[in-house]
Structure 1
Amino acid sequence: MESLDAEGWAQLFNSCRESACHLEMRDHYAVAEEAADIEKWRAGKWGPEEDAASKAGWLELMRATAARGVRLRRTRIISEPASEYIRFEHDGTPQNIEAGEEVRWLPRTRASGLALPGNDCWIFDGATVLFNHFTGEGGWVGNELSRDPRVAELCTKAFESAWELGVPHDEFTLT
């Protein structure tokens, strides 16, 4: 297993040819770069323009990746009622969609029959998996890259199963 830095992350998207799928399974993320954004959101001083500016680099990477014909999909498995963080994330999802991502939401109660990996992950072209590791409080720990075909197959099947059950963003209402 390998670990990637930010440049390696971008390279995964730049070399991707067909699909990049993200499976998110946490109800709370506490990554340092979002702390100020969440505070502004809580105070009602956050809207689509602020969200898009905050994640401009990410959105540009998604636009460039989608422009090459890569299908970008994200499934978020969430508890209901939704956590504050998920509400923040939900409010910012239209910017991700505008940049070329497809996003679905899957209430955790509908995911009980799924075999899921132990960590959030990105799956690139069904062959490379980037696991994201977090502390119990949601802080970023690091990532782990796998090119093991068995791991890629497990994660791809898990993603596709969750995607099938998920509700498209524009049809999903948070509770």
Structure 2
Amino acid sequence: MAPEDFAALFATVERTAVHLELRDAYTPDDPLFLRWLEGQVTPADIAEHENGWAQIVRATVGRGVTMRRVRVVSEPLAPFVRFEYDGAGALNEAAGEQVRWLPRQQAAGLCLPANDFWLLDDRLVRFGYFSGIGDYLGAELTDDPALAEQCGSAFEAVWERATPHKDYRPQ
């Protein structure tokens, strides 16, 4: 299975799917993001555009899987992260994904991996790789138990410090 095939990947999840995001910039040429920068996009537009992801989340959560996402962010928020914040309620949370935010200043002392990841059922890790400006470079799947344990510990440490989306007010 290709790491990019999210529908197939999430169809295999039985209990938990957690996602740690560590970057301030992703896909800088995304047309929806560029339209958002111009003030032409609402949270509802984001949710509608990303309906494929929402369908994956609803199907996964509908099977009883808990989905959680934490974004470690610099404040004030970078433009792309502000775009993600604007869509998180209408997209991620409305579909059933729990979202939290952790300002980078509050992450001091945490040992975090160098790359974003998904950890599925505490056993399968999907690392995502991006260039310095946020261009997607690819992904890698591993079922290495030591890496899965490290990623799980890192995620739980961040989750405990992070603020739920409904309570987070970015600078």
Q: Give the TM interval when normalised to the shorter protein.
A: over 0.9
Q: Give the superposed CA RMSD.
A: 1.2
Once residues 138 and 132 of structure 2 are traced to their aligned partners in structure 1, the CA distance between those partners, rounded to angstroms, is 13
Report what 1:45 is aligned to.
Answer: 40
Aligned partner of 1:19 in structure 2 is: 16
Give identity over the alignment, percent: 42
Residue type at the aligned position of 2:52? G
1:30 aligns with 2:59: no
Moved over 3 A (4+): none
- What aligned pairs does 1:60-79 form with structure 2 within 5 A after superposition? 60-79=55-74
Letter of the 1:40 partner, please give it. R
Unpaired stretches in structure 2, ≥5 consecutive residues: none
Q: Is the 8 A contact 2:126 2:141 kept in 1?
A: yes
Deviation digits for residues 22-69 of structure 1, max 9, x if unmatched?
00000111265xx21112112221113311121010100000000000
**Structure 1 pair 142–159 and aligned structure 2 pair: CA distance change class (3 A):** same
Deviation of the 1:169 alpha carbon: 0.2
- Taking the aligned partners of 1:165 and 1:5, their CA distance within structure 2 comes to 29
Q: How does 1:137-156 map to 2 (within 5 A)?
A: 137-156=133-152
Kindly tell me the number of residue pairs found equivalent between the two proteins.
170
Give yes or no for contact 1:31–1:140 (8 Å, CA) kept in 2. no
Matches within 5 A, 1:1-175: 4-7=2-5, 9-30=6-27, 32=29, 35-94=30-89, 95-175=91-171
Contact 1:75 1:162 in 2 (8 A): yes
Deviation at 1:5, TM superposition (A): 4.6
Q: Which consecutive residues of structure 1, in runs of 5 or more, have no partner in the other structure? A: none
| 1:109-131 Cα deviation digits (max 9, x unpaired) | 11111111110000001100000
- AA aligned to 2:47 is A
Pair 1:5–1:151, CA change in 2 (3 A): closer
